A and B are shown apart, each in its own frame.
Chain A
Protein backbone atom coordinates (compact mmCIF):
# COMPACT_ATOMS: atom_id res chain seq x y z
CA UNK A 1 0.00 0.00 0.00
CA UNK A 2 1.21 3.51 -0.74
CA UNK A 3 0.36 6.38 1.64
CA UNK A 4 1.46 9.94 0.81
CA UNK A 5 4.00 8.61 -1.66
CA UNK A 6 5.60 6.20 0.83
CA UNK A 7 5.43 2.46 0.20
CA UNK A 8 4.42 0.83 3.47
CA UNK A 9 5.88 -2.58 4.27
CA UNK A 10 3.50 -5.54 4.55
CA UNK A 11 1.38 -5.80 7.68
CA UNK A 12 2.12 -2.23 8.77
CA UNK A 13 -1.58 -1.89 9.48
CA UNK A 14 -0.88 -4.02 12.56
CA UNK A 15 0.76 -0.93 14.08
CA UNK A 16 -2.55 0.90 13.89
CA UNK A 17 -4.42 -1.93 15.57
CA UNK A 18 -1.68 -2.23 18.20
CA UNK A 19 -2.05 1.50 18.91
CA UNK A 20 -5.82 1.10 19.32
CA UNK A 21 -5.25 -1.76 21.75
CA UNK A 22 -2.82 0.36 23.75
CA UNK A 23 -5.32 3.26 23.97
CA UNK A 24 -8.17 0.99 25.07
CA UNK A 25 -5.84 -0.63 27.62
CA UNK A 26 -4.53 2.67 29.01
CA UNK A 27 -8.07 4.05 29.26
CA UNK A 28 -8.84 1.20 31.61
CA UNK A 29 -12.12 0.37 29.88
CA UNK A 30 -12.06 -3.21 31.11
CA UNK A 31 -9.88 -5.26 33.32
CA UNK A 32 -9.77 -8.00 30.64
CA UNK A 33 -7.74 -5.82 28.27
CA UNK A 34 -4.49 -4.59 29.75
CA UNK A 35 -2.41 -2.19 27.59
CA UNK A 36 -0.45 -3.80 24.81
CA UNK A 37 2.81 -2.50 26.27
CA UNK A 38 2.10 -4.37 29.51
CA UNK A 39 1.23 -7.51 27.58
CA UNK A 40 4.45 -7.31 25.54
CA UNK A 41 6.44 -6.69 28.70
CA UNK A 42 4.88 -9.78 30.28
CA UNK A 43 5.54 -11.68 27.06
CA UNK A 44 9.31 -11.15 27.28
CA UNK A 45 9.16 -11.87 30.97
CA UNK A 46 7.50 -15.27 30.60
CA UNK A 47 9.43 -16.32 27.49
CA UNK A 48 12.36 -17.15 29.74
CA UNK A 49 10.40 -18.98 32.43
CA UNK A 50 10.68 -22.73 32.76
CA UNK A 51 6.91 -23.15 32.77
CA UNK A 52 6.58 -21.44 29.40
CA UNK A 53 9.43 -23.33 27.80
CA UNK A 54 8.07 -26.62 29.07
CA UNK A 55 4.66 -25.74 27.64
CA UNK A 56 6.22 -24.75 24.33
CA UNK A 57 8.21 -27.96 24.16
CA UNK A 58 5.23 -30.15 24.99
CA UNK A 59 3.05 -28.37 22.49
CA UNK A 60 5.67 -28.65 19.77
CA UNK A 61 6.13 -32.31 20.55
CA UNK A 62 2.40 -33.07 20.40
CA UNK A 63 2.03 -30.95 17.27
CA UNK A 64 4.85 -32.55 15.30
CA UNK A 65 3.92 -36.06 16.38
CA UNK A 66 0.28 -35.45 15.44
CA UNK A 67 1.16 -33.93 12.08
CA UNK A 68 3.64 -36.72 11.40
CA UNK A 69 1.00 -39.42 11.87
CA UNK A 70 -1.57 -37.44 9.88
CA UNK A 71 0.80 -37.15 6.92
CA UNK A 72 2.26 -40.65 7.06
CA UNK A 73 -1.15 -42.28 7.32
CA UNK A 74 -3.16 -39.70 5.38
CA UNK A 75 -1.23 -39.47 2.11
CA UNK A 76 -1.01 -43.22 1.34
CA UNK A 77 -4.63 -43.72 2.41
CA UNK A 78 -5.75 -40.90 0.11
CA UNK A 79 -3.72 -42.17 -2.83
CA UNK A 80 -5.00 -45.72 -2.39
CA UNK A 81 -8.56 -44.43 -2.14
CA UNK A 82 -8.07 -42.53 -5.39
CA UNK A 83 -6.77 -45.66 -7.08
CA UNK A 84 -9.14 -48.29 -5.70
CA UNK A 85 -12.87 -48.06 -6.15
CA UNK A 86 -13.48 -50.56 -3.36
CA UNK A 87 -11.42 -48.72 -0.76
CA UNK A 88 -13.02 -45.46 -1.83
CA UNK A 89 -16.54 -46.80 -1.32
CA UNK A 90 -15.56 -48.17 2.09
CA UNK A 91 -13.79 -45.13 3.48
CA UNK A 92 -15.11 -42.02 1.76
CA UNK A 93 -18.29 -41.65 3.86
CA UNK A 94 -16.24 -41.79 7.05
CA UNK A 95 -13.69 -39.30 5.79
CA UNK A 96 -16.46 -36.87 4.89
CA UNK A 97 -18.22 -37.35 8.22
CA UNK A 98 -15.06 -36.73 10.20
CA UNK A 99 -14.00 -33.80 8.06
CA UNK A 100 -17.14 -31.87 8.94
CA UNK A 101 -17.70 -33.31 12.42
CA UNK A 102 -17.11 -31.11 15.49
CA UNK A 103 -14.07 -33.08 16.61
CA UNK A 104 -13.90 -31.15 19.86
CA UNK A 105 -16.84 -33.25 21.02
CA UNK A 106 -14.71 -36.36 20.55
CA UNK A 107 -11.90 -35.23 22.83
CA UNK A 108 -13.63 -36.40 26.07
CA UNK A 109 -14.08 -39.83 24.49
CA UNK A 110 -10.38 -39.87 23.57
CA UNK A 111 -9.51 -38.94 27.14
CA UNK A 112 -11.45 -41.93 28.39
CA UNK A 113 -9.86 -44.21 25.81
CA UNK A 114 -6.27 -43.00 25.90
CA UNK A 115 -5.87 -41.28 29.26
CA UNK A 116 -5.36 -37.66 30.28
CA UNK A 117 -1.91 -37.26 28.81
CA UNK A 118 0.15 -36.59 25.77
CA UNK A 119 -1.26 -39.57 23.87
CA UNK A 120 -4.76 -38.08 23.73
CA UNK A 121 -3.42 -34.70 22.60
CA UNK A 122 -1.39 -36.28 19.79
CA UNK A 123 -4.39 -38.27 18.62
CA UNK A 124 -6.59 -35.16 18.74
CA UNK A 125 -4.04 -33.31 16.61
CA UNK A 126 -3.90 -36.15 14.11
CA UNK A 127 -7.69 -36.32 13.94
CA UNK A 128 -7.89 -32.61 13.17
CA UNK A 129 -5.34 -32.80 10.37
CA UNK A 130 -5.75 -36.15 8.68
CA UNK A 131 -9.11 -35.94 6.89
CA UNK A 132 -8.35 -33.04 4.62
CA UNK A 133 -4.98 -34.63 3.78
CA UNK A 134 -6.75 -37.85 2.78
CA UNK A 135 -9.37 -36.01 0.73
CA UNK A 136 -6.85 -33.86 -1.10
CA UNK A 137 -4.51 -36.77 -1.90
CA UNK A 138 -7.51 -38.66 -3.22
CA UNK A 139 -8.58 -35.71 -5.36
CA UNK A 140 -5.03 -35.33 -6.65
CA UNK A 141 -4.91 -38.95 -7.76
CA UNK A 142 -8.36 -38.83 -9.33
CA UNK A 143 -7.50 -35.88 -11.58
CA UNK A 144 -4.37 -37.67 -12.83
CA UNK A 145 -4.01 -37.76 -16.59
CA UNK A 146 -5.17 -41.23 -17.70
CA UNK A 147 -2.55 -41.47 -20.39
CA UNK A 148 0.23 -41.03 -17.78
CA UNK A 149 -1.08 -44.16 -16.06
CA UNK A 150 -1.29 -45.97 -19.39
CA UNK A 151 2.20 -44.77 -20.26
CA UNK A 152 3.65 -46.19 -17.04
CA UNK A 153 1.76 -49.43 -17.62
CA UNK A 154 2.89 -49.74 -21.23
CA UNK A 155 6.54 -49.27 -20.25
CA UNK A 156 6.22 -52.05 -17.71
CA UNK A 157 6.00 -50.10 -14.44
CA UNK A 158 5.34 -52.29 -11.40
CA UNK A 159 2.55 -51.21 -9.01
CA UNK A 160 5.20 -49.91 -6.59
CA UNK A 161 6.89 -47.93 -9.37
CA UNK A 162 3.56 -46.52 -10.45
CA UNK A 163 2.75 -45.51 -6.88
CA UNK A 164 6.03 -43.74 -6.13
CA UNK A 165 6.99 -42.49 -9.60
CA UNK A 166 3.64 -41.53 -11.09
CA UNK A 167 0.73 -41.25 -8.64
CA UNK A 168 2.60 -39.50 -5.84
CA UNK A 169 4.21 -36.90 -8.08
CA UNK A 170 1.14 -36.32 -10.20
CA UNK A 171 -0.90 -35.67 -7.08
CA UNK A 172 1.82 -33.67 -5.29
CA UNK A 173 0.35 -30.18 -5.76
CA UNK A 174 -2.99 -31.30 -4.30
CA UNK A 175 -1.26 -33.31 -1.58
CA UNK A 176 0.74 -30.27 -0.51
CA UNK A 177 -2.39 -28.14 -0.49
CA UNK A 178 -4.02 -30.73 1.76
CA UNK A 179 -0.99 -30.90 4.05
CA UNK A 180 -1.01 -27.13 4.43
CA UNK A 181 -4.68 -26.99 5.41
CA UNK A 182 -4.17 -30.10 7.55
CA UNK A 183 -1.33 -28.47 9.46
CA UNK A 184 -3.36 -25.33 10.06
CA UNK A 185 -6.12 -27.53 11.45
CA UNK A 186 -3.50 -29.38 13.52
CA UNK A 187 -2.57 -26.10 15.24
CA UNK A 188 -6.21 -25.82 16.31
CA UNK A 189 -6.24 -29.48 17.28
CA UNK A 190 -3.20 -29.28 19.49
CA UNK A 191 -4.51 -26.20 21.34
CA UNK A 192 -8.05 -27.49 21.71
CA UNK A 193 -6.74 -30.82 22.91
CA UNK A 194 -4.57 -29.11 25.50
CA UNK A 195 -7.34 -26.79 26.64
CA UNK A 196 -9.76 -29.62 27.17
CA UNK A 197 -7.30 -31.97 28.74
CA UNK A 198 -5.62 -28.96 30.39
CA UNK A 199 -2.91 -30.54 32.43
CA UNK A 200 -0.04 -30.23 29.96
CA UNK A 201 1.42 -27.57 27.70
CA UNK A 202 -0.27 -24.27 26.99
CA UNK A 203 -3.56 -25.68 28.16
CA UNK A 204 -2.15 -25.87 31.67
CA UNK A 205 -0.76 -22.33 31.34
CA UNK A 206 -4.09 -20.92 30.15
CA UNK A 207 -5.84 -22.66 33.00
CA UNK A 208 -3.36 -21.25 35.48
CA UNK A 209 -3.43 -17.66 34.14
CA UNK A 210 -7.16 -17.34 33.67
CA UNK A 211 -7.91 -18.92 37.06
CA UNK A 212 -5.63 -16.36 38.68
CA UNK A 213 -6.87 -13.44 36.54
CA UNK A 214 -3.39 -12.84 35.12
CA UNK A 215 -4.75 -11.20 31.97
CA UNK A 216 -1.37 -9.86 30.84
CA UNK A 217 0.07 -13.35 30.91
CA UNK A 218 -3.01 -14.76 29.21
CA UNK A 219 -2.78 -12.35 26.28
CA UNK A 220 0.97 -12.82 26.00
CA UNK A 221 0.64 -16.57 25.53
CA UNK A 222 -2.22 -16.04 23.11
CA UNK A 223 -0.09 -13.70 20.98
CA UNK A 224 2.70 -16.27 20.91
CA UNK A 225 0.28 -18.98 19.74
CA UNK A 226 -1.30 -16.81 17.05
CA UNK A 227 2.10 -15.77 15.78
CA UNK A 228 3.30 -19.38 15.68
CA UNK A 229 0.22 -20.59 13.80
CA UNK A 230 0.45 -17.72 11.31
CA UNK A 231 4.17 -18.27 10.72
CA UNK A 232 3.72 -21.98 10.12
CA UNK A 233 0.88 -21.36 7.67
CA UNK A 234 2.82 -18.71 5.74
CA UNK A 235 5.91 -20.91 5.60
CA UNK A 236 3.85 -23.77 4.16
CA UNK A 237 2.26 -21.49 1.59
CA UNK A 238 5.76 -20.45 0.53
CA UNK A 239 6.86 -24.09 0.20
CA UNK A 240 3.74 -24.90 -1.78
CA UNK A 241 4.40 -22.08 -4.23
CA UNK A 242 7.92 -23.35 -4.80
CA UNK A 243 7.06 -27.00 -5.33
CA UNK A 244 3.86 -26.73 -7.31
CA UNK A 245 5.27 -24.46 -10.00
CA UNK A 246 4.51 -27.08 -12.60
CA UNK A 247 0.96 -27.71 -11.40
CA UNK A 248 -0.55 -25.12 -13.71
CA UNK A 249 1.35 -26.52 -16.65
CA UNK A 250 0.22 -30.12 -16.48
Chain B
Protein backbone atom coordinates (compact mmCIF):
# COMPACT_ATOMS: atom_id res chain seq x y z
CA UNK B 1 0.00 0.00 0.00
CA UNK B 2 2.92 2.32 0.53
CA UNK B 3 3.27 2.64 -3.20
CA UNK B 4 -0.26 3.95 -3.73
CA UNK B 5 0.02 6.38 -0.84
CA UNK B 6 2.73 8.16 -2.77
CA UNK B 7 0.76 8.32 -5.96
CA UNK B 8 -2.39 9.75 -4.42
CA UNK B 9 -1.46 13.34 -3.89
CA UNK B 10 -3.72 16.33 -3.41
CA UNK B 11 -4.26 18.33 -6.58
CA UNK B 12 -2.90 21.51 -5.06
CA UNK B 13 0.60 20.15 -4.61
CA UNK B 14 1.10 19.13 -8.24
CA UNK B 15 2.12 21.87 -10.60
CA UNK B 16 0.95 21.90 -14.20
CA UNK B 17 -0.48 24.28 -16.71
CA UNK B 18 -4.20 23.79 -16.93
CA UNK B 19 -6.08 24.00 -20.22
CA UNK B 20 -9.48 23.92 -18.60
CA UNK B 21 -10.44 25.16 -15.15
CA UNK B 22 -13.80 24.71 -13.54
CA UNK B 23 -14.30 27.10 -10.62
CA UNK B 24 -16.98 26.82 -7.96
CA UNK B 25 -19.49 25.26 -10.32
CA UNK B 26 -22.98 24.75 -8.95
CA UNK B 27 -25.89 23.43 -10.93
CA UNK B 28 -29.45 23.12 -9.69
CA UNK B 29 -32.41 21.58 -11.47
CA UNK B 30 -35.23 23.20 -9.57
CA UNK B 31 -34.76 21.98 -6.02
CA UNK B 32 -32.37 19.21 -7.00
CA UNK B 33 -28.73 20.03 -6.50
CA UNK B 34 -26.74 18.30 -9.26
CA UNK B 35 -23.38 19.97 -8.53
CA UNK B 36 -22.33 22.02 -5.54
CA UNK B 37 -19.38 24.36 -5.56
CA UNK B 38 -17.14 22.09 -7.61
CA UNK B 39 -13.65 23.16 -8.66
CA UNK B 40 -11.32 21.14 -10.85
CA UNK B 41 -8.23 21.78 -12.98
CA UNK B 42 -7.54 19.88 -16.22
CA UNK B 43 -3.85 19.77 -17.20
CA UNK B 44 -2.97 20.59 -20.79
CA UNK B 45 -2.08 17.71 -23.10
CA UNK B 46 -3.27 15.11 -20.63
CA UNK B 47 -6.30 12.93 -20.13
CA UNK B 48 -8.44 13.54 -17.06
CA UNK B 49 -11.19 11.10 -16.15
CA UNK B 50 -14.31 12.02 -14.25
CA UNK B 51 -15.21 8.85 -12.40
CA UNK B 52 -18.02 8.19 -10.00
CA UNK B 53 -21.25 6.33 -9.31
CA UNK B 54 -24.32 7.28 -11.33
CA UNK B 55 -25.93 10.49 -10.14
CA UNK B 56 -22.64 12.09 -9.14
CA UNK B 57 -22.96 14.78 -11.82
CA UNK B 58 -20.02 13.80 -13.99
CA UNK B 59 -21.92 14.16 -17.26
CA UNK B 60 -23.46 17.42 -16.02
CA UNK B 61 -19.99 18.81 -15.37
CA UNK B 62 -18.82 17.71 -18.81
CA UNK B 63 -21.79 19.37 -20.51
CA UNK B 64 -21.17 22.57 -18.55
CA UNK B 65 -17.57 22.55 -19.79
CA UNK B 66 -18.90 21.93 -23.33
CA UNK B 67 -21.18 24.95 -22.95
CA UNK B 68 -24.26 22.79 -23.55
CA UNK B 69 -25.53 23.52 -20.03
CA UNK B 70 -25.31 26.76 -18.10
CA UNK B 71 -24.05 26.47 -14.52
CA UNK B 72 -26.26 28.05 -11.86
CA UNK B 73 -23.15 29.68 -10.48
CA UNK B 74 -19.41 29.49 -11.00
CA UNK B 75 -17.48 29.57 -14.26
CA UNK B 76 -15.42 27.49 -16.64
CA UNK B 77 -12.32 28.80 -18.37
CA UNK B 78 -10.79 27.19 -21.44
CA UNK B 79 -7.30 28.52 -22.21
CA UNK B 80 -8.03 31.53 -20.03
CA UNK B 81 -11.28 32.36 -21.81
CA UNK B 82 -14.59 32.17 -20.01
CA UNK B 83 -17.06 29.66 -21.46
CA UNK B 84 -20.40 31.15 -22.46
CA UNK B 85 -21.53 28.45 -24.89
CA UNK B 86 -20.14 25.82 -27.27
CA UNK B 87 -17.00 26.97 -29.04
CA UNK B 88 -14.46 25.86 -31.63
CA UNK B 89 -11.89 25.19 -28.90
CA UNK B 90 -13.87 22.15 -27.69
CA UNK B 91 -15.28 19.08 -29.44
CA UNK B 92 -17.67 16.54 -27.99
CA UNK B 93 -17.81 12.76 -28.40
CA UNK B 94 -21.24 11.38 -27.51
CA UNK B 95 -22.14 8.23 -25.64
CA UNK B 96 -24.75 7.26 -28.26
CA UNK B 97 -22.52 8.50 -31.13
CA UNK B 98 -25.09 11.12 -32.28
CA UNK B 99 -24.52 10.48 -35.96
CA UNK B 100 -26.85 11.75 -38.67
CA UNK B 101 -28.56 8.57 -39.88
CA UNK B 102 -29.36 10.10 -43.26
CA UNK B 103 -25.78 11.15 -44.00
CA UNK B 104 -22.74 9.17 -45.12
CA UNK B 105 -19.67 8.66 -42.93
CA UNK B 106 -17.89 11.35 -44.93
CA UNK B 107 -20.60 13.94 -44.35
CA UNK B 108 -20.92 12.99 -40.68
CA UNK B 109 -17.22 13.45 -40.09
CA UNK B 110 -17.25 16.73 -42.00
CA UNK B 111 -20.33 18.00 -40.12
CA UNK B 112 -18.40 20.13 -37.62
CA UNK B 113 -16.44 21.73 -40.45
CA UNK B 114 -19.64 22.24 -42.43
CA UNK B 115 -21.09 24.17 -39.47
CA UNK B 116 -17.98 26.35 -39.49
CA UNK B 117 -18.47 27.24 -43.11
CA UNK B 118 -15.44 25.37 -44.48
CA UNK B 119 -15.73 24.88 -48.26
CA UNK B 120 -16.93 21.45 -49.43
CA UNK B 121 -13.71 20.27 -51.10
CA UNK B 122 -11.54 21.29 -48.18
CA UNK B 123 -13.75 19.82 -45.50
CA UNK B 124 -14.06 16.53 -47.39
CA UNK B 125 -10.30 16.33 -47.75
CA UNK B 126 -9.86 16.90 -44.03
CA UNK B 127 -12.64 14.46 -43.17
CA UNK B 128 -11.04 11.78 -45.35
CA UNK B 129 -7.76 12.24 -43.54
CA UNK B 130 -9.36 11.65 -40.14
CA UNK B 131 -11.51 8.78 -41.41
CA UNK B 132 -8.25 7.11 -42.38
CA UNK B 133 -6.70 7.99 -39.05
CA UNK B 134 -9.43 6.26 -37.04
CA UNK B 135 -9.16 3.23 -39.32
CA UNK B 136 -12.32 3.57 -41.37
CA UNK B 137 -10.75 4.05 -44.81
CA UNK B 138 -13.07 2.59 -47.44
CA UNK B 139 -16.22 3.33 -45.45
CA UNK B 140 -16.49 6.99 -46.53
CA UNK B 141 -19.76 6.42 -48.36
CA UNK B 142 -21.33 3.99 -45.90
CA UNK B 143 -24.30 5.01 -43.78
CA UNK B 144 -24.21 4.75 -39.97
CA UNK B 145 -26.72 1.88 -39.85
CA UNK B 146 -24.38 -0.17 -42.00
CA UNK B 147 -21.62 0.08 -39.39
CA UNK B 148 -21.07 -1.75 -36.10
CA UNK B 149 -21.28 0.14 -32.80
CA UNK B 150 -17.51 0.39 -32.54
CA UNK B 151 -17.19 1.73 -36.06
CA UNK B 152 -19.92 4.27 -35.40
CA UNK B 153 -18.02 5.60 -32.41
CA UNK B 154 -14.92 5.85 -34.59
CA UNK B 155 -16.97 8.11 -36.85
CA UNK B 156 -17.95 10.18 -33.81
CA UNK B 157 -14.30 10.39 -32.81
CA UNK B 158 -13.19 11.37 -36.31
CA UNK B 159 -15.83 14.10 -36.36
CA UNK B 160 -14.48 15.51 -33.10
CA UNK B 161 -10.87 15.28 -34.31
CA UNK B 162 -11.64 16.87 -37.68
CA UNK B 163 -12.51 20.25 -36.18
CA UNK B 164 -9.08 20.27 -34.55
CA UNK B 165 -10.26 21.53 -31.17
CA UNK B 166 -7.71 21.73 -28.36
CA UNK B 167 -10.02 20.10 -25.86
CA UNK B 168 -11.82 16.81 -26.47
CA UNK B 169 -14.80 16.08 -24.26
CA UNK B 170 -15.82 12.42 -24.19
CA UNK B 171 -19.04 11.34 -22.51
CA UNK B 172 -18.77 7.62 -21.73
CA UNK B 173 -17.67 7.10 -25.32
CA UNK B 174 -16.99 3.37 -25.03
CA UNK B 175 -19.93 2.32 -22.88
CA UNK B 176 -22.12 1.38 -25.86
CA UNK B 177 -19.56 -0.86 -27.57
CA UNK B 178 -18.65 -4.45 -26.79
CA UNK B 179 -15.85 -5.46 -24.43
CA UNK B 180 -13.24 -6.36 -27.07
CA UNK B 181 -13.86 -3.22 -29.11
CA UNK B 182 -13.65 -1.24 -25.90
CA UNK B 183 -10.19 -2.61 -25.10
CA UNK B 184 -9.00 -1.72 -28.58
CA UNK B 185 -10.47 1.75 -28.17
CA UNK B 186 -8.68 2.22 -24.87
CA UNK B 187 -5.34 1.31 -26.42
CA UNK B 188 -6.01 3.61 -29.37
CA UNK B 189 -6.96 6.39 -26.99
CA UNK B 190 -3.59 6.14 -25.22
CA UNK B 191 -1.91 6.51 -28.62
CA UNK B 192 -4.11 9.46 -29.43
CA UNK B 193 -3.29 11.29 -26.20
CA UNK B 194 0.37 10.73 -26.88
CA UNK B 195 0.33 11.81 -30.53
CA UNK B 196 -2.17 14.66 -30.52
CA UNK B 197 -1.33 17.59 -28.36
CA UNK B 198 -4.85 17.85 -27.00
CA UNK B 199 -6.49 17.93 -23.61
CA UNK B 200 -8.92 15.08 -23.03
CA UNK B 201 -11.75 15.08 -20.51
CA UNK B 202 -13.22 11.64 -20.24
CA UNK B 203 -16.36 10.61 -18.36
CA UNK B 204 -16.65 6.96 -17.42
CA UNK B 205 -18.21 4.74 -14.79
CA UNK B 206 -15.66 1.98 -15.28
CA UNK B 207 -12.89 2.06 -12.68
CA UNK B 208 -10.54 -0.12 -14.77
CA UNK B 209 -11.08 2.03 -17.81
CA UNK B 210 -10.40 5.25 -15.91
CA UNK B 211 -7.18 3.94 -14.38
CA UNK B 212 -6.06 2.44 -17.68
CA UNK B 213 -6.41 5.57 -19.82
CA UNK B 214 -5.99 8.49 -17.42
CA UNK B 215 -3.15 10.78 -16.46
CA UNK B 216 -5.41 12.14 -13.76
CA UNK B 217 -8.55 10.66 -12.23
CA UNK B 218 -11.07 12.84 -10.43
CA UNK B 219 -13.32 10.78 -8.18
CA UNK B 220 -16.74 12.40 -7.89
CA UNK B 221 -19.12 11.46 -5.09
CA UNK B 222 -22.84 12.18 -4.98
CA UNK B 223 -25.19 13.89 -2.50
CA UNK B 224 -23.89 16.54 -2.44
CA UNK B 225 -21.87 16.12 -5.60
CA UNK B 226 -18.20 16.88 -4.96
CA UNK B 227 -14.68 15.99 -5.97
CA UNK B 228 -13.59 13.59 -3.27
CA UNK B 229 -10.06 12.96 -4.44
CA UNK B 230 -7.71 13.33 -7.37
CA UNK B 231 -5.43 10.46 -8.30
CA UNK B 232 -2.42 10.81 -10.57
CA UNK B 233 -0.92 7.43 -11.47
CA UNK B 234 2.84 7.82 -11.73
CA UNK B 235 4.74 5.34 -13.79
CA UNK B 236 2.91 2.40 -15.31
CA UNK B 237 1.87 4.18 -18.51
CA UNK B 238 5.42 4.16 -19.87
CA UNK B 239 5.64 0.38 -19.57
CA UNK B 240 3.58 -0.25 -22.72
CA UNK B 241 -0.09 -1.08 -23.26
CA UNK B 242 0.40 -4.81 -22.67
CA UNK B 243 1.82 -4.38 -19.19
CA UNK B 244 -0.50 -1.82 -17.67
CA UNK B 245 -3.18 -4.23 -16.51
CA UNK B 246 -0.76 -6.33 -14.43
CA UNK B 247 1.23 -3.47 -13.01
CA UNK B 248 1.00 -3.48 -9.18
CA UNK B 249 0.31 0.24 -9.08
CA UNK B 250 -2.55 -0.14 -11.56
CA UNK B 251 -4.08 -2.91 -9.47
CA UNK B 252 -3.63 -0.98 -6.23
CA UNK B 253 -5.31 2.13 -7.60
CA UNK B 254 -8.24 0.12 -8.94
CA UNK B 255 -8.71 -1.48 -5.51
CA UNK B 256 -8.36 1.81 -3.72
CA UNK B 257 -10.98 3.51 -5.87
CA UNK B 258 -13.39 0.63 -5.42
CA UNK B 259 -12.89 0.80 -1.66
CA UNK B 260 -13.89 4.46 -1.62
CA UNK B 261 -16.79 4.07 -4.06
CA UNK B 262 -18.42 0.85 -2.85
CA UNK B 263 -20.46 2.52 -0.10
CA UNK B 264 -22.09 4.78 -2.69
CA UNK B 265 -23.25 2.01 -4.99
CA UNK B 266 -26.80 0.84 -4.36
Contacts from A to B (Cβ < 8 Å) = 145, 147-148, 150-158, 161, 165-166, 169, 172, 246, 249-250
Question: Which of A147, A161, A172 counts the most B-chain CB atoms under 10 A from its CB?
Answer: A147
- List the A side residues contacting B114 at CB < 8 Å: 165
Partner of A156, one of B63, B87, B102: B87
**Tally of chain B residues near chain A (CB < 8 A):** 27
Q: Which of B150-183 contact A (CB under 8 A)?
A: 159, 163
Beyond A151-B111, A156-B88, A157-B115, 8 additional contacts (C-beta under 8 Å) are A148-B98, A154-B92, A155-B111, A155-B115, A155-B159, A156-B115, A165-B114, A169-B100
Q: Which residue of the partner chain, among A148, A154, A165, contacts B68 with CB atoms under 8 Å? A: A154
B144 to chain A, nearest CB (A): 8
Which residue of A is nearest B111, CB measured? A155
Q: Is the CB of A147 within 8 A of B95?
A: yes
Known: A145-B98, A147-B94, A154-B68. A246 touches B86 (CB 8 A): no
Residues of A within 8 A of B236 (CB): none
Per the bound structure, the CA–CA distance linking A172 and B103 in Å amounts to: 13
Which residues from 62 to 94 on chain B have a C-beta closer than 8 Å to any C-beta of chain A? Answer: 63, 66-68, 86-88, 90-92, 94
Contact B101 A151 (CB under 8 A): no
Least distance between B156 CB and chain A CB atoms (Å): 9
Q: Tell me which residues across on chain A come within 8 A of B63, comparing CB atoms.
A: 150
Q: Min CB distance, B3 to chain A, in Å?
A: 40
Contact of B102 among A157, A158, A169 (CB under 8 A): A169
Assess whether B45 is interfacial by the CB under 8 Å rule.
no
Give min CB distance, A173 to chain B, whole Å. Answer: 10
* A141 CB, min distance to chain B CBs, angstroms: 15
**Closest chain B residue to A166 by CB distance?**
B100
Contact A155 to B163, CB < 8 A, known contacts A147-B98, A148-B98: yes
A50 to B93 Cα, complex, angstroms: 65
Q: Is the CB of B96 within 8 A of A161?
A: no
B116 within 8 A of A: yes
A-side contacts of B94, CB under 8 Å: 147, 150-151
Chain B residues near A156: list those with CB within 8 A.
Answer: 86-88, 112, 115-116
